[in-house]
Chains A and B, each alone.
Chain A
Amino acid sequence: MDNVEANVLTTTYDKIFNWARRSAIWPMQFGLACCAIEMMAVLDPRHDMSRFGAEVMRGTPRQCDLMIVAGTVTEKMAPIVKRLWDQMPEPKWALAMGACATCGGPYRTYAVTQGVDRVIPVSVYVPGCPPRPEALLWGLMHLQRRIDRMSVSNLDDQGPMSPS
């Protein structure tokens, strides 16, 4: 009986929290390489990311929910990506945009980190080289669906590391 009450309460909370989180994802204005140009294209009048509530690009990591890793992460850049990620407040998500951020892409070389997931936990991977703006929007909507499944009662399932 106690269990049921707790769950009824948290589901309502969850709805409000998740609605709020999913409807206003603030990405970080952080372009690394080619994909950053397509990330800019997502903001343009044709693709218009603000339809999904995610057009507010913030310059500082402390105001962001989402890190779109748009481009090749090199060994020289990886520590900085990690630091920016650490500076973002919870709850936060990372979206690996494109082949380079996913797995190193065409660059299996001495200078390139083979996927940003070696440095930070990634929630959504968007394939492509570079992904089309529509693909990034797909990634964003996928992330919103994931956020919808979060629950305040189960903290283990809340973070970006949660399996699903």
Chain B
Amino acid sequence: MTDIETTAPQPSETLLGVEEMELNFGPQHPATHGVLRLKVKLDGERIVDCYPIIGYLHRGTEKLFELHPFFQNVPHTDRMDYVAAATNNLAYVGAVEKLIGIIVPPRARYIRTILAELQRISSHLLWLATHAIDIGAMTPFFYTFREREHVLDLFEDYCGARLTLNCMRPGGQPFDLPVGWTEKCAEFIESFPENIAEYEGLLTNNRIWKKRTVGVGVLDPDVALDYGVTGPMLRGSGIDWDLRKARPYEAYSEVEFDVPVFFNCDTYDRYLVRMEEMRQSVRILRQCLDQLPDGPIMAKKPRVLKAPKEGEVYYGVEGPKGEIGFYIIGDGSPNPYRCRVRPPSFLNLQVLPEMIRGDLLADLIAVIGTTDIVLGEVDR
């Protein structure tokens, strides 16, 4: 299905007849994006197999979910995927609303959409910075973090936090947009497309970048589906699947945007998907700011949210990394009886051995970067 010439040798070939070697990679390694540990089996410099070992950041979040009321769990969702707190909040409050049957007022839906798309931009910027540093391009880090700070300023103006936003509540939004916020946001999205062009100018046609990414970490679409891979990884493998289109939530049914899909299944295409997604996010943001309705921001709801006596829902949204979902079982009490997170990074990381088998060791760094994992979410 891919027309790229992959130079990756087959694992069955032996190189110089040397013995296979096992290499421990991480959990402390500058390129593992956290505390990922890999046991890599090498034949010379080729990777025969790779065995990820996770759990170094397992904090027992799912146990804590069961001990706190629905409201108090929102901050815990921030700390799972800590570079995309808003979409985690969105998935969690969406699941709670579905379980209890609350309908959110339109202004709150729009504010949520705006926050989620800003978060997508900020997450992709962080991904680009770290991915480029891993491959050896230092400059994009300084460029992307410059714009990322603008996004974080917007978050800070809205809810006071930069990373762990805690910016949504079951039933609506905790605060209205502050005075002057929309203008500030409009200013940012006006200037941002130029910045994307700047990053692309550094990387897209850069020969070194292409050598390091084209044909590296090929992920077959069938394998991707089999492993439950979602998000830009799946769209980089040629499958047009985006929950924002497939099951529109919040205000996504009322805005126009495209879902970028690329068909070469490699690291370079996943890079292109994410770059294009940032442009689409700007498009969504612009429409949301134009259409932003007036009205209440909080639905009518009981003071203490109680789940139905017996009931369970699954609700997923499209986060920057993929489908982030919550599966909540209620038992009539104010606490979730069981709250399972469907972490996109967990399932995306699982496919890493499939992508890296037969490639060179140096490509492992590029492939870890392209999976865009956050270990806080993998381990929870």
Contact = CB atoms under 8 A, between A and B. Distances in A.
Instruction: Decide if A and B touch, CB cutoff 8 A.
Output: yes
Interface of A: 29-34, 36-38, 40-41, 43-46, 57, 59, 61, 71-72, 74, 76-77, 80, 84, 106-107, 109-112, 129-130, 132
Contacts of A45: 142, 145-146
Contacts of A61: 28
A34 B63 contact: no
A81 B148 CA distance: 30
B28 A37 contact: no
B80 to A, nearest CB: 9
B149 interface: yes
A155 B199 CA distance: 51
Contacts, number: 95
Interface residues of B, number: 36
Given A80-B28, A109-B59, A32 B35 contact: yes
A130 B164 CA distance: 7
Contacts of B76: 106
Given A40-B145, A41-B149, A34 B163 contact: yes
A33 B145 contact: no
Closest A-B pairs by Cβ, 3 of them: A109-B60, A44-B145, A34-B82
B82 A107 contact: no
A130 B61 CA distance: 17
A33 B58 contact: no
Contact of B56 (A36, A38, A59, A77): A77
B106 interface: no
A44 B60 contact: no
B184 interface: no
B44 interface: no
Nearest to A30: B28
B109 interface: no
A74 B56 contact: yes
A46 B141 CA distance: 12
Contacts of B28: 30, 61, 80, 84
A42 B149 CA distance: 11
A45 B146 CA distance: 6
